[in-house]
Amino acid sequence: MADVLPPQSARWTNLVATFATHATRAGFGMVVTPMIEQVEVFHRVGESTDIVRKEMYDFEDKGGRRVAVRPEFTASIMRAFAEHRPTTPWKVWMVGPNFRYEQPQSGRLRQHFQVEAIAPALASIASSMADLKGLLAAPWQESKRAPARAREAELLGKLDAAAAVVRKPEEAP
């Protein structure tokens, strides 16, 4: 985990603001999910996945509940989708910290900031993929920086500006 101080924090803020502007224009709304979830939310991703086996900080809270600190956004977003049953198409984006337990790869941090867009249960997967690819490319194009410059973003708290997942309705947990 690392501190993010000016001027790096200003660049990070600008990148997120650019992403938010493009997401809103593309019909995506921001969603905020809890940073701590019931561990079962992530177990639904799959007991054999690296996220569940190696990458989660999980513990028993004072109430005796098994909880986990969010290792990634998708499971929480799909939990919110299943729980609240919003009207479709539901196109959302999120930004915030995620946490990984296992020894991070070189240049990465246990706590990292991530920007993600997801559109579960869309009728046209091909169309939504095109929307997401354009949305995720926009901040890089506007800042005139190639995604290969992600090293700088990693130094700003591991901003994953290229994460997008589209799930078919039958794939939702």
Q: What is residue 130's predicted lDDT score, i.e. its pLDDT? A: 59
61-118, pLDDT tens digit by residue? 999 999 999 988 988 998 999 999 999 888 899 999 999 887 767 767 788 888 888 8
Q: What number is the average pLDDT over the span 141-168?
A: 40
Using only C-alpha atoms, the chain has a radius of gyration, in whole angstroms, of 16
Highest mean pLDDT among 44-58, 63-77, 90-104, 134-148: 63-77
| Residue-range domains of the chain with CATH | 8-171 (3.30.930.10)
Instruction: State which H helix or E strand residue 25 sits in.
Output: helix 8-25
Buried b (16+ CB within 10 A) or exposed e, 8-45: beebbeebbebbbebbeebebeebebeeebebebbbeb
Task: Provide the terminal-to-terminal Cα distance of the chain, rounded to the nearest Å.
Answer: 31
Six-digit token string for 61: 């809270």
List phi, psi (to 5°) of 38.
-60, 135
Residue 167 confidence (pLDDT) above 50: no
